Amino acid sequence: MSGALARAALAAAGYVAIGCAAIGCVAMGGVAGCAPTVRAGDFYRLPLERAAAPRARLSARWRVQPAPASCTTVGAPIVFLPALGLTQHSWAGVTAALGACRPRVLVDLPGVGESPMVADFTADEALDAITDVIDAVAPDGGRVVLVGHSLGGAIAARLAARLGTRVEALVLVAAAVATFPLNRWEKLLLQPTLWPPLLHLAGDWTGVRLGLSKVEKGADRIPSVDLGLIAAEWSDHRRRAASRTYYDAFVAGDGVLRNGQALHDARTNTLCITGSADTIVPATPLLGEPVCRPLVIAGAGHLMPLTMPARIAAEIDGFLATVAAPRQPPPVSAARAQVTREGARQPGECVWSPRRELFPLVGVGALFPLDGRVDLSFHAGLARGGIDPTFPVESGRVALLVGAAIRGDASGWQFAYLQATGRLELIWRWLGGVHVDGSLLVDPRNGDVGGYGAVGYAPSVVPWVRAFVGGGALPGGDGRVLIGVDVTARVTGLLF
């Protein structure tokens, strides 16, 4: 009797474990930090533009917001350049609050956002591409105001030195124009192959939020659409390669010193805005008279255009009011800029959603206990994490799967047991990666319980297939070595 009770208790425990695994699959969709559905807003109603006759090998895309309708005279356009890994939309809050009677030109750097994909380029080629933008929005040698954030500030400083009197004024926000130490999060992000699966493991949205919260006071105020855009940039290894190239070209080595020298050489009215709480690019002695007009915002972090756009807009308005008077610029020639649909987002388009981080799974597996039997399992479940959308695959995910197995031997096939599996997946591009599982097995007919642990390998070119080896006991059996193969694919498509 006691044996029967024990088997019944073990069976009950097995059913509870399987039930908890199934509930866990659903609960994974509601954990803190899970990506919401984020859609592009009215900002994207503005047409995306490109240079009609670019001279540079690289190409940038931009949008133009007109000066306020109340303006009677209009000054030279303001060209906004974003930070490393950010898109033109990072300036949308600032330009919405800006009162200056000037057109606003919001640029995606080459290889970023809606600009064409590119990863291998030099600093001069990137500067040439932005010069094409300036020539298009201020034709015939027209003047512009340059506003840059972080990396964008470094690019703006170099452009100001290159373009001379064409730059009417320069605004640098947390700009990389003086040497600064990298914090540990920045060092991790700059590792080209080590960290991506770990970022994916948290889910790209959650990974970005966690990373920003470590370095940015007030990161919770970053608009959700910008979080989604950053996640989209950092989840794609091609976009990360472009960001790494920008870092190497403008920040690494003597890049920052060259940015500082360019700022000295620019000879234009310059405002340098820094935050007292910026742990990415701290304020330095370089940012003072006569190089530029310094402004330190108390308590501000590195991402000021995202976390305090109204304040940054007010500072830009106040500065421009003291350095230049608005005047009617030359009209933009249709031959200099053209509207393009290539790469353009549309209002209402999904920027990020749980579909990028939650993956319904179905699969089959074969387990070989090395005793002449074969167990075939059929399973379904849910994975939480992230997958690079491009080939070859890199990913990091946690999965919960439930299913059943049938056993084949000399007498034929019959039901064997129910199964619940927890799985950790880390895959690196080209190298492939590991899956680590733990499985609970229950035979409901007699209450026998077993389980095993396994380590498997999956290539990044066919990441839905894996081979594994493990050890454990099947229900009613003794401990033994087990080997097997597994094919698990998303319900939404075979390829990741």
Q: Whose CA is closest to 155, among 246, 288, 24?
A: 246
Query: What's the pLDDT tens digit per position in 363-406?
Result: 999 999 888 789 999 999 999 999 888 889 999 999 999 999 99
Q: Whose CA is closest to 419, among 323, 486, 349?
A: 486
DSSP codes, 349-373:
-EEE-GGGTEEEEEEEEEEE-SSS-
Q: Cα-flanking dihedrals φ and ψ of residue 278, to 5°? A: -75, 115
Alpha-carbon distance 168 to 325, whole Å?
Answer: 10
Residues 6+ apart with CB under 8 A from 98: 78, 104, 313, 316, 317
The model's confidence at residue 105, banded by pLDDT at 50, 70 and 90, is very high
Q: Are strands 432-443 and 412-428 parallel, antiparallel or unpaired?
A: antiparallel
Q: Whose CA is closest to 439, among 17, 7, 12, 11?
A: 17
Task: Write down the pLDDT at residue 156.
Answer: 98
Tokens of 255: 């890049």
Mean pLDDT of 206-234: 88
Query: What's the pLDDT tens digit per position in 285-342?
Result: 554 556 789 999 999 999 999 999 999 999 999 999 998 666 666 666 666 889 999 8
The larger pLDDT score, comparing residue 451 to residue 496, is at 451
Cis upstream peptide for 392 (omega within 30°): yes
Task: Write down the pLDDT at residue 208.
Answer: 87
Query: What's the pLDDT tens digit per position in 177-215?
Result: 987 766 666 666 666 677 788 878 888 898 888 888 877
Residues 6+ apart with CB under 8 A from 318: none
Alpha-carbon distance 418 to 396, whole Å?
Answer: 26
The larger pLDDT score, comparing residue 33 to residue 486, is at 486
Task: Write down the pLDDT at residue 10.
Answer: 44
Task: Write down the pLDDT at residue 373.
Answer: 87
Q: Whose CA is closest to 124, among 172, 161, 178?
A: 161
The kind and range of the H/E element at 185 are helix 184-189
Q: Cα-flanking dihedrals φ and ψ of residue 208, to 5°? A: -65, -45
The model's confidence at residue 2, banded by pLDDT at 50, 70 and 90, is very low
Query: What's the pLDDT tens digit per position in 59-82?
Result: 999 999 999 999 999 999 999 999
Q: Whose CA is closest to 330, among 98, 75, 130?
A: 75
Tokens of 360: 């319904």
* CA angle 424–236–243, rounded 5-degree value: 125
Mean pLDDT of 444-457: 95
The sign of the CA dihedral 484, 490, 495, 496 is negative
Q: String of b and e for 17-52 (b: at least 16 CB within 10 Å)?
A: bbeebbebbeebeeeeeebeebbbbebbebebbbbe
Task: Write down the pLDDT at residue 326.
Answer: 63
Q: Are strands 167-173 and 144-149 parallel, antiparallel or unpaired?
A: parallel
Task: Write down the pLDDT at residue 29.
Answer: 41
Tell me the average pLDDT of the chain.
87
Mean pLDDT of 484-495: 77
Query: What's the pLDDT tens digit per position in 409-443?
Result: 888 899 999 999 999 999 999 999 999 999 999 99
Alpha-carbon distance 307 to 310, whole Å?
Answer: 9
Q: How many CA atoms lie within 13 A of 320 on its CB side?
A: 29
Q: Cα-flanking dihedrals φ and ψ of residue 50, to 5°? A: -145, 160
Task: Write down the pLDDT at residue 280.
Answer: 86
Alpha-carbon distance 48 to 35, whole Å?
Answer: 27
Q: Which residues pair with 403 in a beta bridge?
A: 379, 419
Return the DSSP state at 467.
E
